[in-house]
Amino acid sequence: MREVKLLSTLKDQNIELIIFPDSPNDYLETISEYDVDKWGEASIQLQEGCSYHYQISQGFQLHPIPGLVIPFNKPDNNRGLIKPGNYVGTFVFTGYLLKNPITIFTFNVEIRSRKTNYRTEYRYMLEEIAYDSVDLILKHSSPVIQHVAPNYNIDHRSIYQKFSFINSIIGTEDFFDAVYRIIRSPVSKWISLAQISDVRKTRKPSKQLISSFAASLNRVAVPVQLKEHIQLSSLPKTIVDETKQDSIDTPENQFVKHVLTEYFLICDYIKDRLLEGSREKMEAELLRNRLKSLVDHEIFKDISQPSTLTLNSPVLQNKDGYREVFKSWLLFELGLKLTWTGGDNVFRGGKKDVAKLYEYWVYFKLLNIVTNVFPEFSDSSMELIKPSSNGLDLNLCAGNCNSIRRICNYETRNIEVEFSYNQTFYGSNNNDYPKSGSWTRTMKPDYTISFWPEGFSKKEAEEQEQIIHIHFDAKYRIDNIIEAFGPSEFESNETIDDNEIRDFRRIDLIKMHAYKDAIRRTAGAYIIYPGTENKIWRGYHEIIPGIGAFALRPSKGNEGWKELQQFLEDVLAQLLNRASKYEETTYHIFNTQSKPPLTLVKNLPEMFDAKRLQPPTEIRCLVGDVKNKSLNDWMERHNLYSIYLGSDQNGNCYDQEFEDYSKLTYLLIYNENELVTSQLFDVLNPNPRLISKEKMLRMGYPDPKHELYLVFSVTRNYHASYENIVWDLSKLEAFSGGKVPSRPFVISLFQLMAISNIEK
């Protein structure tokens, strides 16, 4: 459609507003009256993210709205632009007479979502949130639930929140189908009807009939000719006879009539308190009229109002149709008590923020998944349902942090689990490690699940690298993985033009990397979107660290939550694995970063035995003496270096010495008469051999005096990094005061290189 026209009136003057799309790809349509009534929408339909021009009758103009309605300056002051942006819902344009700039007329348009099924998804998500909220109320143990009554003496926006919850329960086709099934096949019962009839029409005698024969006062004498046959002096002219009749005036049908009448009266009450001409009032009128058609149905004219509600009736609880109406009534009664703090973000003033509603809906889905994996969260209603002046408040509002924390007990360890909505990780301009938060800018993921071992406070767990954060962001407007992360070709080695890369929306992938890299102790960051494909990139071998996306669809029976639940179960399995690589990694991060920074600007080898060398602070070096020339000759001839093992008074060697002298990389030898040395050797096998005195003799060891020796295989080091390097051992603490150590000792390569000099 190339253009649409809307009409408004001012007294007797017609005002015309023409809207036409900015480009052929910008959506502009008019829907039928049937769809207007069905969905409660305006007939003129624009689309979010599109751009439109408008022209209004000469002498009039629309009120400007920053970023949405942009009037042109003179001379075309009756023209302008309409840019809906991300707005979705009924929008009211207000206009004014140029000579008298006061709002005097309005135009209603509908701004629809780009997603074609947003209408059904919006209703489904609102219905799901209503059911989950009522379920929280049922689980809530606070006595206030038993006494609080709904309060309607509140502003129209809060009333519309209540109406939206009610509409999600009883405004569905499933509810109306249930009522129609009752109308087509209502339960009935046989009832007895007493009627006065001629005695001559008496049928089968009964106890009641005999009593009537005897008790009736309107009697006639028995004729003489019949007295010998009838042992009575008189007979009643009429008797009260009883007949059976099938009736639908049953307690169950009375309940249905009561429920429909209550629904109608509540909707009528709400309708009268909403703003005239508003989207909210139109929706309320639509539901009220549908309910009125049910209440006025012929079948309910023969059904009386109930004196009591038989809620324990098997028919109400089990029979098709009645069961659905009974369930709706339970939800309805509880829903009236509920006010939702965050509801204004979703449907205030006719706006249908489907993306924000999806964010709330995902919260409830995630909470259900967390509860399935961690049953300790089953009582989470205590944190989400709070007493308020209007009844009960669903304590969930975008921008406000809401956290639920539980201790979960397992055989291998007890874990504290915290599920948070809109938790803020504050940024810092200072080097404030090991504090929590972001080390760059402040960040606020939609949802965060945090884990740390019981026994640590959250602050302690943060500072000791014991906590793990996993973040999720809800992205309703994304339909598939390519929209979020770009096509898989980007992962190949093919060359792709920069302009082509910019055509794809990869901002969400970048944002997940931002969460992962900037927020300290983050083990994973994932998008949740209403698509079909799940994608996980693992940083290493285990499920975390990772980045990716999970599909969670607002579609009955096909939501996709099982894959997300399996992910959390895999995360739990990794947390319970006390030998996981991730835990080992975080320990070394804590162990390394908790020490003061060091500086070593030296030329060092990059690898040893074709493998990357450890940092110089972790490379172990043995410093030992060679007491005489014969020992030095034996060492160079056999490429061996020996250390005798000490023993206790019983002759047992010290086990600790094995630990002290294992995992060595280098050996530096010296003579006690010369503490400046350049004799550096590589230790070929970091695990030394244990050799007896007798075997040392057979190997030509000069004059062994001890029973056991640790023997290392060594070879002279000729690496270019150590060429022309000498070490002045007198600078080591072990040689302070002119003393010489009695035993070889182990230091780090960092300590060794700190005393090195280039030989001149």
Which residue did the predictor score with more confidence, 442 or 167? 442
Q: Give the confidence band of 318 by pLDDT, cuts at 50, 70, 90.
A: confident
Q: Measure the CA–CA gap between 380 and 396, rounded to whole angstroms.
A: 13
In the numeric block, the tokens 């909707």 are attached to 267
Whether 465 and 556 map to the same domain: the answer is yes
- Report pLDDT for 669: 95
- State mean pLDDT over 68-83: 85
Please indicate, yes or no, whether residues 535 and 615 belong to a single structural domain of this protein: no
Spell out the residues 6+ positions from residue 299 whose beta carbon is closer than 8 angstroms to its own. Answer: 183, 186, 248
> Helix 279-295 crosses helix 251-272 at what angle (to 10 degrees)?
150
626 and 658 both lie in a single domain:
yes
Q: Same structural domain for residues 570 and 424?
A: yes
Q: Lowest mean pLDDT of 86-100, 287-301, 522-536, 679-693, name the range.
A: 86-100
Within a domain: residue 446? yes
> For residue 672, what pLDDT is reported?
83
What confidence category does residue 654 fall into, taking pLDDT thresholds of 50, 70 and 90? low
Looking at 67, 85, 112, the residue that finishes a domain is: 112
Say how far apart CA 349 and CA 231 lie, in whole Å: 85
Domain identity same for 714 and 574: no
Check: CB of residue 124 under 8 Å from CB of residue 554: yes
How far apart are the C-alpha atoms of 531 and 35, rounded to whole Å? 27
Q: Are residues 611 and 580 in the same domain?
A: no
CATH value at residue 712? 3.10.590
Q: Examine residue 444 and state whether it is found in any structural domain, yes or no.
A: yes
Residue 600 is given by DSSP the state -
pLDDT at position 573, please? Answer: 94
Same domain for 641 and 697, yes or no, is yes
Of 588, 619, 636, which marks where a domain is finished? 588
Q: Are residues 676 and 633 in the same domain?
A: yes
Domain co-membership, 568 together with 717: no
pLDDT in tens, 50-69: 999 999 998 888 988 888 89
CB-count burial class (<10 Å; 0-12, 13-18, 19+) for 627: exposed
Average pLDDT over residues 657-668: 81
Q: Is the pLDDT of residue 142 over 50?
A: no
CA dist., res. 471 & res. 571, Å (int): 13
Assess whether 539 and 570 both reside in one domain: yes
Query: Does the residue 299 lie in any domain?
Result: no
Report the pLDDT value the prediction gives residue 501, as an integer from 0 to 100: 42
CA 554 to the chain's CA centroid: 14
Give CA–CA dist 182/61, Å, rounded. Answer: 53
In a domain, 366, yes or no: no
What is the CA 74 to chain-centroid distance, rounded? 50
- Distance between CA atoms of 463 and 626, rounded to whole angstroms? 46
Arithmetic mean of pLDDT, 220-244: 68
* CA quadruple 304, 305, 311, 314: dihedral, nearest 10: 10
Cβ atoms within 10 Å, residue 458: 15
Whole domain around residue 205: which residue ranges?
A: 189-247
Specify the higher pLDDT residue, 530 or 390: 530
Q: What is the pLDDT of residue 243?
A: 65
Segment 395-420, tens digit of pLDDT: 788 778 889 999 999 998 999 999 99
Q: Is the peptide bond before 75 cis (omega within 30 degrees of 0)?
A: yes
CA distance 303 to 326: 17
| pLDDT for the residue 193 | 58
For the stretch 172-205, pLDDT in tens is: 788 899 999 999 988 887 765 556 666 656 656 6
Do the Cβ atoms of 21 and 28 come closer than 8 Å?
yes
pLDDT for residue 565 is more than 70: yes
Please identify, among 112, 142, 176, the residue that sits at the C-terminal boundary of a domain: 112
DSSP state of 411: S
Cα separation, 136 vs 462, whole angstroms: 32
Is residue 535 situated within a structural domain? yes
pTM of the model: 0.76
Answer whether residue 571 shows pLDDT above 90. Answer: yes
Tell me: the pLDDT tens digits for 537-551?
Answer: 898 888 989 999 999
**Summary mean pLDDT of the chain:** 82
Close Cβ partners of 734 (under 8 Å, ≥ 6 residues apart): 623, 741, 745
The pLDDT value given to residue 348: 61
Within a domain: residue 652?
A: yes
> E-assigned strands of 318-413?
338-340, 385-388, 391-394, 402-409
Within a domain: 123: no
User: Which has the higher per-residue pLDDT, 192 or 294?
Assistant: 294
Are residues 683 and 582 located together in one domain of the fold? Answer: no
d(CA 752, CA 746) in angstroms, rounded, equals 10
**Residue 724 falls in which region: left (phi positive, over 0), alpha (psi -120 to 50) or beta:** left
Tell me how far apart the alpha carbons of residues 747 and 626 are, in angstroms, rounded to a whole number.
18
Cβ-contact 408, 417 below 8 angstroms: yes
Residue 152 — very low, low, confident or very high, per pLDDT cuts 50/70/90? Answer: very low
| Structural domains counted in the chain | 4
Tokens encoding 324: 């659905």
Helix H or strand E encompassing 94: strand 89-97
Sheet of 60-62, strands arranged across: 29-30, 44-47, 100-112, 89-97, 60-62
* 47 pLDDT more than 70: yes
Burial 358-395 (b: 16+ CB within 10 A, else e): bbbbbbbbbbebbbebbeebeebbebbbbebebbbbbe
Domain-located, residue 572: yes
pLDDT tens-digit profile of 444-490?
Answer: 999 999 999 999 999 999 999 999 999 999 998 887 777 667 666 54
Of how many residues is the chain composed?
760
Give the confidence band of 154 by pLDDT, cuts at 50, 70, 90.
very low
> Same structural domain for residues 555 and 412?
yes
pLDDT of 650 above 60: no
